[in-house]
């Protein structure tokens, strides 16, 4: 998230909260990068567990949490993760379609919200694993997406609080400003420039891709904020100190990795999406 949704409008984050955010990031970022570098089953396991957590948090936010729904979602997402990690993408999609239908039947009156949450978690699962599975450029592509999202978050966080100014969409997220959005956008372009300077991709295409992913990341953030506001929830959970829950931390990444995979898929196919994103 580029700017906090939990503090009252006009208030600055307490120093202790900022310290918690930094400390959590210093622990989680290196672990994430190390597992992403390892790839394979280890990355698939992490993504599967996180996707299960995303679905569970979504159900809690929309007031549809139950043992039956959470249990069914856990089983289906775990099966999907196993299938896609093993290279059985078609089977994973079939499992997802059948499992999603079962989840919607269990949800009854909340079937639309439960189905949307399952699609949200499943998209994060499939895109995250498939981008990394590219043996040539999978790690570079995944790191590019992660760094663009992180730069957008950090740039938006400090630009929004340092410059202030007009609100971006006060009805949905009263703390976010246009200055924060533009600051995050500019920071994402710096990531693209850094990759090009290191010889990982061409500058102009990477700038265009980073611009798209930064905007999409911020839209994902706003989408999550809109869902929480719709149900009167401040944080999806308190799992990550200073950040809230998995949804709060990964809202932008889920949107960005999905769009990144779509771009890569359209250019180089299902199994070379990383190269499709990075090689122009």
Cα–Cα–Cα angle for 117, 94, 73, rounded to 5 degrees: 35
What's the pLDDT at 235? 84
| Token code pair at residue 107 | 């949800």
Tens-digit pLDDT profile for residues 87-109: 999 999 999 999 999 999 999 88
How much is the mean pLDDT over the chain?
A: 92
Report how far residue 55's alpha carbon sits from residue 69's, in angstroms, rounded to the nearest whole number: 10
pLDDT of residue 35 exceeding 70: yes
Q: Which two tokens stand for residue 10?
A: 């006009």
pLDDT for 16: 62
Q: What does the angle CA 207 – CA 210 – CA 214 come to, to the nearest 5 degrees?
A: 140
User: Where are the alpha helices (H) located in the chain, listed in sequence order?
Assistant: 15-38, 40-61, 67-85, 89-107, 111-133, 138-163, 178-197, 203-230, 246-268, 273-278
Section 251-261 average pLDDT: 97
Query: From the CA atom positions of the chain, what is the Rg in Å?
Result: 18
So where are the chain's domains? 39-133, 135-280
pLDDT for res 15: 52
Amino acid 6: pLDDT: 40
User: What does residue 122 show for φ and ψ, rounded to 5 degrees?
Assistant: -65, -40
Query: pLDDT tens digit string along 191-219?
Result: 999 999 999 999 999 999 999 999 999 99
Q: What is the pLDDT of residue 144?
A: 98
Q: Is the pLDDT of residue 129 over 50?
A: yes
What percent of the chain stands above pLDDT 70? 94
Distance CA 279, CA 104 (A): 40
Q: Quick one: pLDDT at residue 210? A: 98
Would you state the pLDDT for residue 264? 98
- Give me the mean pLDDT over the 115-130 stretch: 98
At 45, list the tokens. 């396991």
pLDDT of residue 274: 97
> Is residue 190 pLDDT above 70, yes or no?
yes
pLDDT of residue 2: 44
Band of residue 239 on the pLDDT scale cut at 50, 70, 90: confident
pLDDT at 241 (0 to 100) = 74
């Amino acid at each position: 998230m580029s700017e906090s949704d939990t503090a009252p409008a006009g208030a600055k984050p307490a120093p202790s909260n900022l310290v918690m955010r930094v400390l959590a990031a210093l622990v989680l970022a290196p672990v994430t990068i190390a597992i992403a570098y390892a790839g394979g089953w280890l990355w698939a396991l992490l993504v599967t567990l996180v996707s299960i957590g995303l679905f569970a948090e979504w159900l809690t936010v929309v007031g549809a949490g139950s043992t039956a729904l959470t249990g069914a979602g856990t089983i289906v997402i775990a099966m999907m993760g196993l299938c896609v990690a093993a290279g059985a993408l078609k089977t994973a999609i079939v499992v997802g379609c059948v499992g999603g239908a079962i989840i919607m039947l269990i949800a009854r009156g909340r079937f639309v919200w439960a189905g949307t949450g399952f699609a949200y978690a499943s998209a994060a699962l499939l895109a995250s694993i498939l981008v990394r599975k590219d043996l040539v450029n999978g790690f570079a592509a995944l790191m590019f997406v992660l760094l663009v999202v992180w730069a957008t978050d950090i740039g938006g966080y400090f630009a929004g609080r340092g410059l202030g100014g007009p609100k971006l969409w006060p009805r949905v997220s009263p703390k976010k400003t246009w200055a924060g959005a533009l600051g995050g956008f500019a920071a994402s372009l710096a990531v693209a420039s850094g990759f090009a300077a290191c010889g990982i991709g061409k500058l102009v295409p990477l700038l265009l891709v980073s611009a798209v992913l930064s905007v999409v990341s911020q839209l994902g953030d706003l989408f999550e904020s809109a869902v929480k506001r719709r149900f009167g929830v401040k944080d999806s959970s308190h799992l990550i100190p200073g950040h809230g829950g998995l949804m709060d931390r990964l809202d932008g990444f889920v949107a960005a990795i999905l769009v990144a995979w779509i771009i890569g898929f359209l250019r180089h196919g299902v199994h070379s999406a990383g190269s499709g994103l990075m090689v122009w």
